[in-house]
Amino acid sequence: MRPFEWTRLAAALLVLCGTLGVPAWIVLAAGSGSAGAQAPRELRETGLYADPSTQRIASDVLAFRPQYPLWTDGARKRRWIRLPAGSSIDASDPDAWRFPVGTQLWKEFAYERRVETRYMQLGGDGRWVYATYVWSPDGRSASLAPQRGLRGACQSTSGAPHDIPSELDCRACHQGTPSEVLGFSALQLSSARTSREPGDNAAELQLDDFVARGWIRDLPREFRERAPQIAARSERERAVLGYLHGNCASCHNARGPLAELGLDLEFSLARGSSAVRTSVGVESRFQLAELERSERIVPGAPHASVLFRRISSRDPLLQMPALGTHVVDTAAVELVSQWIEQDLAPARLADTHSSHQRQR
Ligand code: HEC
Ligand code: HEC
């Protein structure tokens, strides 16, 4: 199957399966579903908590927050990392950190209550284990979800279903980049932040903190001296490129399985951004019904731009991101709309191209 055909397939399956309608914890209690390879049955066995009964986080587990988070229908998220004692991350390639065997990462999702905690662990064979734990409604324990995921496991704040992703879904997003870790990177941890979601937890550490603790080694000197940042002409453009990096680049980059599409939304600290070059004025394979020739971005015209139309939709055949969301990210839609309308208006475009060239 050609790689760009699979979302259609996934979307068709989603329509067929609909929502499960049975609370996730009942399915789990009934013992259905198979265990992810090597992942423990219960979240508490992963070592996240010093004391599972009070859910106090273990002292060698550190909290972090990426500056460009993934939108998941308004879910609140907390994230943690632990490295094996005495080990560190090789940060010599600022776009592809190499993590030591045994690294553990967690990401908790909550609406009114916690719904799931996702988990990654790097095995001795160099492969990441992907698993997720579904919280019981009373919030006292979280158990391994079936590998095929759970549709409509609970409701998000807006009333839309929240799906527990399948292991294939985890891999579809995470395996598009070499390190597979998406939110713990030089750019994402940088203290030069323009985040739309300000950190609400003082315990969340940033790049400098991790360097000072010896968790990150060989970070290129320029990023130790000056916090890494997206090069852009304006704060708005920086925020747009950050949104595209955090929400789209795991699939849309120049080095993963979807590279042949030629839509590169990744911000590389080594190479800069190709987002404008690969989208503005570029014909899309996805044709909008009312137009003879559809372009990914038409300067000055959000509603004629495939990229804008797809982030504004949650029709399974149209929506972007292709996975993991049922509710439109209205703040992002507004931001991208203004950028296309104002910053990319035809008169200013020549300027954008030359400014991106200069900043490389
Ligand atoms: C729609 C794409 C998508 C899917 C599906 C997805 N993830 Fe992620 N995940 C991300 C992105 C992007 C980040 C980083 C941004 C953030 O945390 O907001 C992330 C962050 C994480 C983190 C924190 C470490 C890191 O990479 O930053 C863990 C742990 C994680 N995901 C595990 C999982 C597991 C396990 C699954 C499947 C059960 C899964 N994810 C499914 C996109 C996805
Ligand atoms: C889980 C992987 C995944 C994520 C994340 C994702 N996409 Fe896509 N995207 C795809 C696939 C697969 C296709 C090709 C099939 C199709 O058009 O539906 C695609 C196609 C597209 C296209 C049409 C490409 C063309 O030929 O012109 C655009 C535009 C697009 N995506 C934008 C985005 C944006 C913007 C985001 C982030 C907000 C995003 N995508 C996130 C998987 C993804």
Q: pLDDT per position in the chain (360 positions), as tens?
A: 343 334 443 333 333 222 333 333 333 333 333 333 489 999 999 999 999 999 999 999 999 999 999 999 999 999 999 999 999 999 999 999 999 999 999 999 999 999 999 999 999 999 999 999 999 999 999 999 999 999 988 888 888 999 999 999 999 999 999 999 999 999 999 998 865 555 556 789 999 999 999 999 999 999 999 999 999 999 999 999 999 999 999 999 999 999 999 999 999 999 999 999 999 999 999 999 888 999 999 999 999 999 999 999 999 999 999 999 999 999 999 999 999 999 997 765 555 554 444 443
Cα–Cα distance measured from residue 82 to residue 103, given in angstroms and rounded to the nearest whole number:
6
Rounded Cα distance between 220 and 93, Å, is 8
CA distances to 22, 82, 88, 115, 197 from 155, rounded to whole Å, are: 12, 30, 38, 9, 22
Q: Give residue 210 CA to ligand 1 midpoint distance, Å.
A: 20
| Ligand 2 centroid from CA 320, angstroms | 6
**Mutate-to-test residue for ligand 1 from 73, 103, 174, 251, highest number of ligand atoms within 8 A of CB:** 174
Q: What is the C-alpha end-to-end distance of the chain, expressed in Å?
A: 36
Both tokens assigned to 230: 């997206």
Can you tell me which atom of ligand 1 is nearest the CA of 70? 18
Residue 323 CA, closest ligand 2 atom number: 1
CA 121 – CA 150 distance, rounded (Å): 21
Query: What was the pLDDT predicted at 26?
Result: 32
pLDDT of 24: 36
Q: Count CB atoms within 10 A of the CB of residue 54.
A: 7
Q: Is the CB of 165 under 6 A from ligand 1?
A: yes
Q: Answer yes or no: is the C-beta of 273 below 6 A from any ligand 1 atom.
A: no
Closest ligand 1 atom to residue 247 Cα is 12
Q: Which residue has the tokens 């409604």?
A: 137
Residue nearest to atom 15 of ligand 2 (CA): 4
Ligand 1 pocket test, candidate residues 38, 71, 107, most atoms within 8 A of CB: 107
Quick check: 154 and 24 in contact, CB under 8 A? yes
Which ligand has an atom closest to residue 181 CA? Answer: 1
pLDDT at 10: 39
Indicate which atom in ligand 2 lies nearest the CA of residue 7. 12
Which atom of ligand 2 has the smallest separation from the CA of 169?
Answer: 1
pLDDT of residue 193: 81
C-beta 97 within 6 A of ligand 1? no
Q: Under 8 Å CB-to-CB from 4, ≥6 apart: which residues? A: 258, 260, 261, 285
CA–CA–CA angle 313, 73, 63 (5° rounding): 140
Omega before 161 within 30 of 0, i.e. cis: no
For atom 30 of ligand 1, the residue with the nearest CA is 118
